[in-house]
Amino acid sequence: MCQSCNDTFQTLTRDGESRRNFLRSGAALAAAPLAASVATQAAAQEGGASLEASEVQAWAAFDTDGSFAPHTIPRRAAGPKDVVVEIMYSSICHSDIHTYKGDWGMPQFPLVPGHEMVGRVVGIGAEVTKFREGDVAGVGTMVDSCGTCANCLADREQNCLNGTTFTYNSEDKISGGVTYGGYSKKIVVKEDFALRIPPGVDLAGFAPLLCAGITTFSPINHWDLQPGQRYGVIGMGGLGHLAVKLAAAKGAEVVVFTTSEDKIADAKAFGAAEAYLWSDEAAMRSQMGSFDLMLSTVPVAYPMQQFLNLLKLDKTLVNVGALFPIEGAHGMMMGFGRQSLAGSMTGGIAETQRVIDFAAHHGVAATYEMITPEQIGEACEKVVNKQARYRYVIDMTQA
Ligand SMILES: [Zn+2]
Ligand SMILES: [Zn+2]
């Protein structure tokens, strides 16, 4: 395939017969490399075999030490409103690591993480309207919610009052047991929880939008970041680098605060106007009272008052990284400037579709390094050690 444009036609011109079959299948609308084979589609068309329950290859953590091993998981038979997605690219989010380490409570092992995935639709239930076989779909942080409560009706499925079903390590209300995520070859999901991926995009670079993208996009919508406003991004890893790219695409004046010297140049390449080290006291002083909005993407707790001081009066610092008790905010200092410290986490399905469409329109995608499933454990370690540049994407097409 053509890595730069995902031109399926280039992939398939090597095999004229396959190309004709592909075009006949109607899959030409989805501009993705057809690693999910034509043969799979043909099988699906012949007998709907892909709608049946199946055993699927996955990679699981068996304890908190982060060593991953191959594991087989069940995927349910597709119901009338379900799509079956053959996963092509699945990226590693820091949440996956927090989860297997037990940072948020002991998970249910074996744990198959992964809530940033893109793949090809290889089966559709009888009542599915949003996808056709051969389309490319994404799945993010959740796979089900009640659909009828006030929060679901407000497009806030992540806040479902009857309990959101998250993509992994969550009670599976349909099949029983626990949900398994994207470190696997296939997922069955309600079409309402699958996202459309526009043609022509870098599919591996789009997988991280399903969590990191929406997590950093939602705050700039909610707090209404405007072009020209000063926007501070604290920490530039998987979340932070997408925060920079998305806000720069919106026309904001983005300023990055990092602890890694080599990320200064990267920040500017991603669209930041300025970038500073936290340890640069003179730079920190020069930024006092200058920001319209700030976003903290650092995955651990740290004293935040040093950044609250950088906000203009009445403005907000949104924490999306440290999902832990936060210390180091000073009531008097926040009160003096009437600044707010807020939290935000992922976003609803409609808003997730918005970030995908926005990214496609503006040519934004994650910067990533491709790995094999055998490298998951090692990659997770590098994420913790701040060595990721900037997302690890697991290539399931070769697995
Ligand atoms: Zn995530
Ligand atoms: Zn609900």
Whether 31 shows a pLDDT value over 80: the answer reads no
Interval between CA 294 and ligand 1 midpoint (Å): 20
Please give the pLDDT value at position 49.
57
Interval between CA 51 and ligand 1 midpoint (Å): 28
pLDDT in tens, 208-229: 999 999 999 999 999 999 999 9
Evaluate whether residue 207 is within a structural domain: yes
pLDDT in tens, 164-185: 999 999 999 999 999 999 999 9
Q: What is the mean pLDDT of the segment spanning 18-42?
A: 39
Residues 235 and 382 grouped into a single domain: no
pLDDT in tens, 321-366: 999 999 899 999 999 999 999 999 999 999 999 999 999 999 999 9
Among the candidates 327, 343, 359, a domain finishes at: 343
Interval between CA 158 and ligand 2 midpoint (Å): 8
Evaluate whether residue 6 is within a structural domain: no
Whether 51 shows a pLDDT value over 50: the answer reads yes
Residues 6+ apart with CB under 8 A from 125: 51, 78, 79, 80, 81, 82, 83, 191
Please give the pLDDT value at position 50.
83
Whether 258 shows a pLDDT value over 60: the answer reads yes
Nearest bound ligand to CA 161? 2
Provide the domain count of the chain. 2
Which residue did the predictor score with more confidence, 320 or 47?
Answer: 320
Nearest bound ligand to CA 153? 2
Interval between CA 66 and ligand 1 midpoint (Å): 17
Nearest bound ligand to CA 152? 2
Interval between CA 399 and ligand 1 midpoint (Å): 22
Provide the whole-model pTM: 0.88
Whether 18 shows a pLDDT value over 70: the answer reads no
Interval between CA 219 and ligand 2 midpoint (Å): 21
Interval between CA 269 and ligand 1 midpoint (Å): 24
- How long is the chain? 399
Nearest bound ligand to CA 156? 2
Whether 11 shows a pLDDT value over 50: the answer reads no
Residues 107 and 216 grouped into a single domain: no
Please give the pLDDT value at position 33.
41
CB atoms within 10 A of CB 126: 11
Q: Which token pair is 392?
A: 């690890």
Residues 132 and 237 grouped into a single domain: no
Whether 29 shows a pLDDT value over 90: the answer reads no
Which residue did the predictor score with more confidence, 27 or 129?
Answer: 129
Interval between CA 144 and ligand 2 midpoint (Å): 9
Q: What is the mean pLDDT of the segment spanning 58-78?
A: 96
pLDDT in tens, 233-247: 999 999 999 999 999
d(CA 264, CA 267): 5
d(CA 143, CA 240): 25
Interval between CA 375 and ligand 1 midpoint (Å): 19
Q: Which token pair is 281?
A: 């006291």
Interval between CA 156 and ligand 2 midpoint (Å): 8
CB atoms within 10 A of CB 64: 15
Residues 115 and 63 grouped into a single domain: yes
pLDDT in tens, 135-173: 999 999 999 999 999 999 999 999 999 999 999 999 999
Nearest bound ligand to CA 151? 2
Residues 203 and 229 grouped into a single domain: no
Whether 13 shows a pLDDT value over 80: the answer reads no
Chain position carrying tokens 């055998």: 374
Structural domain including 237 reads 212-343
Sign of CA dihedral 201, 202, 208, 213: negative
Evaluate whether residue 7 is within a structural domain: no
Interval between CA 162 and ligand 2 midpoint (Å): 5
Residues 93 and 192 grouped into a single domain: yes
Nearest bound ligand to CA 147? 2
Residues 69 and 157 grouped into a single domain: yes
Residues 6+ apart with CB under 8 A from 144: 164, 165, 173, 174, 190, 193
Interval between CA 214 and ligand 2 midpoint (Å): 19
Whether 6 shows a pLDDT value over 70: the answer reads no
Residues 378 and 251 grouped into a single domain: no
Task: Catalogue the long-range contacts made by 240-244 (C-beta closer than 8 Å, 24 or more residues apart).
Answer: 240/216, 240/295, 240/297, 240/390, 241/266, 241/270, 241/366, 241/367, 241/390, 241/391, 242/208, 242/209, 242/212, 242/213, 242/216, 242/364, 242/366, 242/390, 243/216, 243/295, 243/297, 244/270, 244/271, 244/272
Q: What is the mean pLDDT of the segment spanning 89-114?
A: 97
Please give the pLDDT value at position 398.
85
**Domain CATH code at residue 225:** 3.40.50.720
Q: What is the mean pLDDT of the segment spanning 31-54?
A: 54
pLDDT in tens, 361-398: 999 999 999 999 999 999 999 999 989 999 999 999 98
Residues 207 and 105 grouped into a single domain: yes
Interval between CA 95 and ligand 1 midpoint (Å): 5
Please give the pLDDT value at position 66.
87
Nearest bound ligand to CA 320? 1
pLDDT-based confidence at residue 2 (cuts at 50, 70, 90): very low
Which residue did the predictor score with more confidence, 205 or 44?
Answer: 205
Which is nearest to 86 in space by CA: 49, 111, 47, 60?
A: 49
Nearest bound ligand to CA 91? 1
Nearest bound ligand to CA 182? 1
Residues 203 and 230 grouped into a single domain: no
Nearest bound ligand to CA 391? 1
Evaluate whether residue 16 is within a structural domain: no
pLDDT-based confidence at residue 23 (cuts at 50, 70, 90): very low
Interval between CA 246 and ligand 2 midpoint (Å): 29
Please give the pLDDT value at position 43.
43
Whether 25 shows a pLDDT value over 80: the answer reads no
Interval between CA 96 and ligand 1 midpoint (Å): 7
Helix 94-101 × helix 376-384 angle, to 10°? 100
Residues 254 and 157 grouped into a single domain: no
Residues 138 and 77 grouped into a single domain: yes
Whether 271 shows a pLDDT value over 50: the answer reads yes
Interval between CA 116 and ligand 1 midpoint (Å): 7
**Domain CATH code at residue 94:** 3.90.180.10
